A = this chain, B = another copy of it.
Amino acid sequence: MTLYFEDLRPGTVYQLGSVTVDGAEMVAFARRFDPQPFHVDAEAARHTPFGGLIASGWYTGSVFMRLYVDALLVDAASEGSPGLTELRWLSPVRAGDVLHGRLTVLDSRPSRSSPKRGTALLRGELLRDGEPVMRTTFRGLFGRRPD
Residues of chain A having any CB pair with chain B under 8 Å = 29, 32-36, 38, 48-50, 54, 56-58, 61-63, 65-66, 69, 73-74, 78-89
Contact = CB atoms under 8 A, between A and B. Distances in A.
Nearest to A62: B33
A66 B36 contact: no
Contacts of A63: 33
Nearest to A37: B78
9 contacts: A33-B66, A34-B65, A36-B80, A48-B79, A61-B61, A62-B62, A82-B89, A83-B87, A83-B89
Interface of A is mostly: mixed
Contact of A58 (B48, B49, B61, B74): B61
**Most chain B beta-carbon contacts within 10 A, residue among A32, A38, A54, A74:** A32
Contacts of A50: 80
**Most chain B beta-carbon contacts within 10 A, residue among A50, A78, A84:** A84
B83 A86 contact: yes
A82 B61 CA distance: 13
Contact of A62 (B38, B58, B69, B85): B58
Nearest to A141: B49
Nearest to A32: B66
Nearest to A49: B79
